[in-house]
């Protein structure tokens, strides 16, 4: 999984339902924290779309509460042939064991998305610039999801996305919530390299996600116009 161009990722907690995503998605985000049997599903997965394995911590919108078990599952996922990338929260990298996971993944040729989420607000441009820049030092793509309360928040996020991209960094950005929903379609025009939409239209994994078909059509149309 490369991030030198935009990657549309279909998010799901079930690898048994990903066939419906093939028409629109470039890859699958497997939300292991939302799945009861992630090892079994990943071992038996033989789909065509590569997997971005995510085991999201509950403090950042996920369902995982045991950090040691969460780390162990991602360490195991790195070794699975279907896994092309993993997601690691930026705050987790204060721990040397998580930094070791990142090093092991990159040594194995598995890409690393270093992510941060703010479910309350959109930080200042200076803070977002710093967050993305620092996260990018550890992974192949720095992801920042914020919560927009007005359209100015979206403008700030897009400006930061363009700034970091112009600096040669690989980032993925989105503004969560209804106010920021359109950012998911337009952020790729400013350099964002990953977009997320649910495999099942009624199973969004973050506030404000479009359906997979809708996001695919919007990104394709906007990109063609530019």
CA-CA distance, 153 to 12, in Å (whole number)? 28
Which whole-number Å values give the CA distances from 16 to 36, 73, 132, 173, 209, in the listed order?
13, 19, 33, 28, 21
CA-CA distance, 49 to 47, in Å (whole number)? 6
Select which of 137, 143, 182, 226 is catalytic. Answer: 143
Select which of 24, 117, 133, 226 is catalytic. Answer: 117
CA-CA distance, 201 to 222, in Å (whole number)? 22
| 182: annotated active-site residue | no
| 138: annotated active-site residue | no
Give the contacts of 165 (CB within 8 A, at least 6 positions apart): 171, 190, 191
> Is 175 in a helix, a strand, or coil?
strand
Strand stretches in 138-179, DSSP E: 141-147, 171-176
Sheet with 83-89, edge to edge strand ranges: 171-176, 141-147, 111-117, 83-89, 50-54, 27-31, 7-12, 194-198
- Residues labelled as active-site residues: 117, 143
């Amino acid at each position: 999984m490369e991030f030198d161009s935009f990657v549309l990722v279909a998010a799901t907690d079930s690898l048994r339902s990903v066939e419906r995503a093939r028409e629109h998605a470039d890859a699958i985000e497997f939300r292991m924290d939302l799945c009861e049997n992630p090892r079994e599903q990943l071992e038996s997965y033989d789909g065509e779309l590569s997997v971005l394995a995510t085991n999201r911590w509950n403090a950042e919108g996920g369902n995982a509460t045991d950090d040691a078990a969460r780390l162990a599952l991602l360490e195991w996922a790195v070794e699975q042939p279907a896994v092309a990338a993993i997601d690691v929260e930026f705050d987790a990298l204060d721990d040397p064991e998580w930094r070791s996971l990142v090093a092991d993944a990159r040594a194995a040729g598995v890409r690393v998305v270093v992510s941060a989420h703010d479910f309350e607000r959109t930080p200042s441009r200076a803070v977002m610039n710093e967050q993305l820049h620092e996260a990018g030092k550890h992974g192949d793509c720095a992801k920042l999801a914020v919560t927009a309360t007005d359209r100015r928040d979206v403008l700030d996020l897009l400006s930061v996305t363009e700034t970091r991209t112009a600096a040669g960094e690989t980032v993925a950005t989105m503004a969560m919530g209804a106010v920021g929903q359109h950012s998911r379609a337009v952020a790729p025009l400013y350099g964002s390299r990953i977009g997320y939409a649910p495999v099942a239209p009624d199973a969004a994994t973050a506030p404000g996600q479009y359906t997979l078909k809708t996001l695919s059509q919007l990104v394709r149309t906007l990109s063609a116009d530019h």
